[in-house]
Amino acid sequence: MIKEKLIPYFENAMIEYWDLPAFTDYPGDAMNYSEVGKRILWLHRLYESAGIKKGSKIALVGKNSSNWALIWVGTICYGATIVPILPNFSPEETQHIVNHCDAELLFINKSSYQNLDRDGMPKLKRVYALEDFAMLCNGEGKNIKEIPPYEEHKDLHKLSKKDFAIKDVCDNEDIASFIYTSGTTGFSKGVMLPHRSLLANLIVAHENLLFNVGANVFAFLPLAHAYACSFDLLYPFTRGNHLNFLDRIPVPRVLLAAMKDLNPEVVLTVPLLIEKIYKRQLQPLVSKPMMKIALKTPILNKIILKKIHNTLMDAFGGKIRELITGGAPMNAEVELFMKKIRFPFTIGYGMTECGPLISYANWQDHRFESSGKRVKYMDIKIKSDDPVNIPGEILVRGEQLFTGYYKYEEATEESIIDGWFHTGDIGTMDKDGFVYIRGRSKNVILGPSGENIYPELIEQKLNNMPYVGESLILERDSQVHAIVYPDFEALDAEQIPQSKIKDLMEQNRVDLNEQLAAFNRISRLHIAPEPFQKTPTQKIKRFMYN
C-alpha cells in the first residue's frame, strides 16, 4: 500500500519550480509554475461558486492546451473527479458521456459546444469555454453568482510562494478521473481511476524516467488518453519540466521540425510515427545496392550505422536521452534497425485500466520484441501452462489497477476476477519478467487445424513489403484475408501508375506467403481506397472492418 498522496506532488511542484516555465501552447509564450498555481486557486473559487463538492464530476472536452492542463490539474487538486473526453468523439457520444458520468460542469471549445444539445444535458450546472473560461451557459437561473475573471483577483496576483497552499482533501481510494476508452472494439466504458493509480504511475516515472528539471517536453499525443496524461502531463509537471502542447499528432515532417526547435530530452510517441520515419527516410537509404554491400563489411558497417545514429539523433533535436513508444505494437524490422544503430528508444505496455503503465524497461535494458518488464506495485501472470513458450492471456493486479467501470458492474465483474484484471491481451513472459505481446484475444484467428493465428504479427511483416502503407488481417469465410492501404506517397514519388497497384500488392501477398507457415498464409488481398480509421494512439479500429 502506498503511504504517499497525490495532491502534495502538485503543490510541491508549483512551489519548488515557482519561477520556471510550465505550460506553452506551442509555439506561443510560456506560463510559469507560479501562474499555473494562482490560476488553479482561481479555478477553485469558480468551483466553489458553482457548488462543486469533493467527488463532483467535471467534464473536459478539447485538444491539448495550457487551459486543458490547468483544468485537469486544478480539478484533481480540488478533490473533484475530472472526466476528459477525446475531442474526436462525435457530438452524440460526447453528450452521452457528459450525461453518463453525471457531470456538473463542462469545459469545452466554443465551436464544439455549438454542436451539442444543451437541453439534452440536464444535470449540467454550467458550461465554460475552454479558450477563455467565459460562461457559455448556466442551468441555475438568472441569479447565478458568477465570479470575476482571473485578471480581477488582485490578491492572487500578489501571492508569493511562501503563502501558496492547496488543501489536500483526498484519500488514495478517491476517484481522480473517469477515462472513457476509445478502443478497437468500438464501445466506450468509463474507467474509474483512483488517486492511488495515478500516484503509482507517478512514483514509477520519478524512479525510472530521465527527464531533467527545466527540460522541454513536447506533448502532442492526446492528453485525454491515459498514456499521454500520465507521462506528458502528470509526471513532467511534477518534475519541473516545460510542457509544450500541440493540439494534434503531427506528421513526421512537422514532428522533426519541432524537435529541432525544442531539443527535448525524452519524447513519448506511438510506433506508427517512428515506423513512418523509418520507412520514408531510413529504409530507402539502407536498401540501396551499394549500401547493402557496405553494411556487410564489418568496418564500414560500424561507420555507417554510427552515421545514421548521429543523423537521427540530430533530427530529434540532438539531446534525446530516451524515446518511449507505447499504445500499439512496434514493427519488428523497425525495432531491430533502431537497436542496430543504438538509438535510445524503448517500448512500454499499458492499459487505461492501469492508468496506464504495466511494464517498462529503459532503453539500455530493453529486450528485442518485448514491452519491458513489470513495474513497481504491479503483478503480472500469463494464463498458460507454459508462460515462457505458450502464449496466454495477460492478467495483472496492483496499486495501478482501476476501481471498476462506472455504472457497469457486469463488465467490472467480468474483467476483474479474484483480484486479477483480465487484459484481453495475449502474450508470454520470460524468466526475468519481460513481457512479449502477441496480440488481442478478440483478434486471434483459429487456423484450419486449431492453430492460433495472430493478425498483428502478420501485419508487421506485410507493412514492410514494398508500397504498403498500412494493413489489416481479418478472417473471412474461414480464410485469412488482408486489407492494404497502399503508400501512395512512395508510389507517386516513383511515378508508378495506379493501374499497377493491384499487381504490386498481389506480388507482395505471394512473396509474404513464402515467409509464413501454411496456416498463416493470406488467401486474398483487398486494396483500401483510404487510410484506416484509428484510435487516438493510432491503433486501427478493427470492428469497423469485420
**Domain's final residue, options 440, 474, 493:** 440
Distance CA 33, CA 40 (A): 10
Shared domain for 73 and 127, answered yes or no, is: yes
Q: What is the pLDDT of residue 520?
A: 84
- Report residue 389 as a C-alpha cell: 513458450
Shared domain for 288 and 232, answered yes or no, is: no
Distance CA 123, CA 48 (A): 17
Cβ within 8 Å of residue 496, ≥6 positions away: 467, 504
Is 2 within the bounds of a domain? no
3-state SS class at 546: coil
Q: Bridge partners of 206?
A: none
Residues of the chain with pLDDT under 70: 140-144, 182-187, 327, 448-451, 536-537
Shared domain for 46 and 123, answered yes or no, is: yes
Shared domain for 52 and 174, answered yes or no, is: yes
The number of CA neighbours under 13 Å toward the Cβ of 524 is 8
Is 1 within the bounds of a domain? no
Is 57 within the bounds of a domain? yes
Domain that includes residue 490, residue range: 447-544
Q: What is the pLDDT of residue 315?
A: 84
C-alpha torsion 509→513→516→517, nearest 10: 140
Shared domain for 387 and 534, answered yes or no, is: no
Shared domain for 185 and 76, answered yes or no, is: yes
CATH of the domain at 505: 3.30.300.30
For 180-245, the three-class secondary structure string (H helix, E strand, C coil) is ECCCCCCCCCEEEEEHHHHHHHHHHHHHHCCCCCCCEEEECCCCCCHHHHHHHHHHHHHCCCEEEE
Q: What is the pLDDT of residue 185?
A: 45
Q: What is the pLDDT of residue 537?
A: 66
Q: What is the pLDDT of residue 294?
A: 81
Shared domain for 452 and 433, answered yes or no, is: no
Q: What is the pLDDT of residue 72?
A: 98
Name the domain count of the chain. Answer: 3
CATH of the domain at 127: 3.40.50.12780
- Report residue 168 as a C-alpha cell: 489536500
Which residue matches cell numbers 501485419? 459
Distance CA 47, CA 68 (A): 16
Shared domain for 500 and 527, answered yes or no, is: yes
Which residue matches cell numbers 507482395? 508
Distance CA 128, CA 60 (A): 10
The H or E element spanning position 420 is: strand 420-429
**Domain's final residue, options 245, 272, 301:** 245
Shared domain for 230 and 92, answered yes or no, is: yes
**Domain's final residue, options 245, 273, 293:** 245
